[in-house]
Amino acid sequence: MELEKNESELTIHDKNKGGRYRWVTITTLLLAIGAILHLVSPNIGGVTPNWTIAMYCIAINLTKPTLKQSFGIGLVAAAINIPTSKSAFPYGNLLSEPIGAIICTLLVCHTFNMTLGKLNIKPAVTGFISTVASGMTFITILKVVLSLPLSVYLYAMIPVVFTVAAANAAITQILYFPAKKLFDLKGDQ
């Protein structure tokens, strides 16, 4: 919008709202934060939150990508996890992370609003379910590839997945609102 004032030109621009690739920027920044946190977070009782899943769940809740885009987010997350993984078979991430990201996108884009009073709890729900989907995929691949006994799978690995999912639900919920404010996203995403 252009206005004339005292014979000089004054141009007023609306605040840039991003563009059609803003989701890439938001996702990249959050995955980078997740990678750093993944590297520096210590194990607590043998369990570490999966910061990568928490961060892509926040990004997906904020940007609502397409399924194709969420598959790409999952592949990037897997690529980040492979070199920093403490797992015996880190390449399982190549399947588990895209599954987690796609599940998150399906929940974000195709479910009703989830609130507790006025609090949007969709970030916590998507963080929990996406972590379970990704984690169960990962440990199933690990069980098959390493020929682990069923008892280890049932009584050691599955409880860890649900413990990490609970931690990720809390992390995703807590960090969603500051991230939303940081990226200046309006409305209840």
At 92-104, the pLDDT tens digits run 999 999 999 999 9
Q: Which domains does the chain have, with CATH numbers?
A: 19-182 (1.10.1760.20)
Arithmetic mean of pLDDT, 34-63: 88
- Decide: residue 45, CB within 10 A, 0-12 exposed, 13-18 middle, 19+ buried: exposed
Contact call for residues 168 and 160 (beta carbons, < 8 A): no
Helix (H, G, I), strand (E, B) or coil at 150: helix
Supply the pTM of this predicted model.
0.84
Which pLDDT score is estimated for 170? 96
Tell which residue, 111, 96, 127, 119, has the closest CA to residue 177: 119
Share of the chain above pLDDT 70, in %: 87
Question: Distance between terminal CA atoms of the chain?
Answer: 29
- What is the phi/psi pair of residue 4, to 5°? -100, 135
- Does the pLDDT value for residue 134 go beyond 60? yes
- Does the pLDDT value for residue 16 go beyond 70? no
